[in-house]
A and B are shown apart, each in its own frame.
Chain A
Amino acid sequence: MTMEDLYQEIILDHYRKPKNRQPQLEGESVHVHHSNPLCGDEMDLRVRIGDGVLDAVVFDGDGCSISQASASAMTQAITGRTLDDVLELAEDFRTMMHGEEPKRADDLGDGVAFRGVAKFPVRVKCALLGWMAVRDAIETYQEGASAHSVTHDD
């Protein structure tokens, strides 16, 4: 296992120049805070939802390159999609991280670059952090709430 297996250039690009990394979002519908206590990854994720569509998503936080880069790639892949579509894509990413072929590789965009992370079991949670957060944000919205906080245990 080399560093390049884990850290593909696309991943490093997102880490160095993250997309949609912002502390605030105008017109925010839901704000969720997710953490992986084992690694110390912390993430704030904010979404704006209108007419069943994920209109905008931003994240902020402190974590390893994998967690931050994965969230960055995710924001590009999901912005503008319907909530159901985002949930389906999140599930596709999750199963990909457990070694399955992605069904919607094109829609995952740069997210496909994280396939190699599946070979590093302790880092899978890092790659999933943003996706778990957005799924929670949508479910929180559907339950009529506007904020939620989740700690991912082992």
Chain B
Amino acid sequence: MTAFDVATLRKEFPTLDRDVDGHRLVYLDSAATSQTPIAVLDAMDRYYRTFRSNVNRGVYQLAEEATDAFEGARANVASFVDADVRGVVFTKNATEACNLIAYAWVRRHLGPGDVMLSTMMEHHANHVPFTTAAKEQGFELRHVPLTSDGQLDLAAAEALVADGRVTFAAFAHVSNVLGTINPVTALRALVRAANPDAKVLVDGTQAVPHMPVSFRTLDVDFYAFTGHKMLGPTGIGVLLAAPEVLETMEPFLTGGDMIRDVTLDGATWNDIPHRFEAGTPMVAEVIGLGAAVDWLRAHDMAAIREHEVALIDAFLSALSDLDGVEIYGPRDVSVRGGALSFAVDGVHPHDVGSMLGSRGVCVRVGHHCAKPLMRCLGVSATARASLHVYNDVDDIEPLVDGIQAAQRFFAR
């Protein structure tokens, strides 16, 4: 169906080679975490086996090699998402990146009278840091509602920003539940048209692993994503920031590495982005992320997106053909990523997940860290199949068979 030879490509992902109780592993949970190619494992292994040392401080060769690999990965990430390398801050994950903004920007700039614009579809990572800040700082939260097919209602958004009081906006690039690809530039333009000084954070966690992303073209102030959903290791996230905004910001965490000078009663701060990276960073994970970026780039993000679009369409068709299965989110694949949430009439998502799991099919069940959205959909949980480059049409039948088995098994 596409230019990808998925069968060959899968051999690069050791986990995909295993079975589960005699069933082929069908991994449909990449929106939770992706699998890791050997190239990423090797890159991290090489660091631990041949040049392990700390970065940005030693003067010996090992330390130089480690620093080169670490800063080389930063430059690699920057070019991958078309961002200025001075605005690439390494964090633990996307959650920490959002918290960095909640502490180092929002708490310092928003107060009573200010409004933050969010949406009804946010992951808790891009929601809780700001509801918490709002309680402390006394600013107001407004949420862009959804259309019936799970897209942001831009007409409603326009009304929400009309009074010019929105000074900060945060929203997802791609929904982890509905799969919706949000019109980032249109919403950013609405926000800035109403208030040119407003800052915009986008949670790109479900976008960067699956499609070409240009931070410069999106033209937002902050953009967060995580390594472990883009074939990289766990424990590494990225905050992209416009350098001119980052320059004005005080640090989030303080300590070693992020300082220029320290006295008995104070300190001055290092240059960006190091100002926002206190302590020894996750060196191996950054190197692993760099290798993941190499892998994705070699396979071409536009081609990966094309492969996924065809696959999403095939999965949606197959699920739509099933009686008693409801699919959430847009049907139009041009505004859709690979998170496919569905409900099976009369069978609780947890039971659907157990049946699928017993057949080697890994899907996520629950609220997907998006409880406000679950309430909006009027459900307590959904089942979610999610795709990545290593999925193919041969993963559809095990999913469909498992859903039908659950329907038979739990029939009342």
- Give the contact stretch, choosing among B158-166, B263-271, B315-323, B366-374: B366-374
Residues 2-29 of B, flagged 1 when their CB comes within 8 A of A and 0 if not, give 0000000000000000000100000000
User: Given that A2-B21, A3-B358 are contacting pairs, would A38 and B366 also be in contact in the complex, using a CB cutoff of 8 Å?
Assistant: yes
List the A residue with the shortest CB-CB distance to B357: A1
Beta-carbon contact of A16 and B412 below 8 Å: yes
Beta-carbon contact of B381 and A40 below 8 Å: yes
Q: How many A-B residue pairs have CB under 8 A?
A: 54
Q: Is the CB of B257 closer than 8 A to any CB of chain A?
A: no
Bound form: Cα–Cα A120–B358 in Å: 12
Q: Is the CB of A59 closer than 8 A to any CB of chain B?
A: no
Bound form: Cα–Cα A139–B365 in Å: 33
Q: Is the CB of A63 closer than 8 A to any CB of chain B?
A: yes
User: Given that A3-B354, A64-B348 are contacting pairs, would A40 and B412 also be in contact in the complex, using a CB cutoff of 8 Å?
Assistant: no
Beta-carbon contact of A40 and B358 below 8 Å: no
Beta-carbon contact of B354 and A40 below 8 Å: no
Residues of A within 8 A of B365 (CB): 39
Report whether over half of chain A's contact residues are helix, strand or loop; otherwise say mixed.
Answer: mixed
The total of chain B residues at the interface (CB under 8 A) is: 19
User: Which residues of B in the span 344-393 have a Cβ within 8 Å of any Cβ on A?
Assistant: 348-351, 354-355, 358, 365-367, 371, 374, 379-381
List the A residue with the shortest CB-CB distance to B355: A3
Beta-carbon contact of A65 and B351 below 8 Å: yes
CB distance from A63 to the nearest CB of B (A): 6
Bound form: Cα–Cα A32–B379 in Å: 21
Residues of A within 8 A of B409 (CB): 3, 7, 12
**Of A15, A16, A37, A64, which contacts B371 at CB under 8 A?**
A37
Beta-carbon contact of A37 and B354 below 8 Å: no
Q: Is the CB of A84 closer than 8 A to any CB of chain B?
A: no
User: Given that A7-B409, A16-B412, A40-B367 are contacting pairs, would A63 and B354 also be in contact in the complex, using a CB cutoff of 8 Å?
Assistant: no
Q: Is the CB of B48 closer than 8 A to any CB of chain A?
A: no
Residues of B near any A CB (own CB < 8 A): 21, 348-351, 354-355, 358, 365-367, 371, 374, 379-381, 409-410, 412
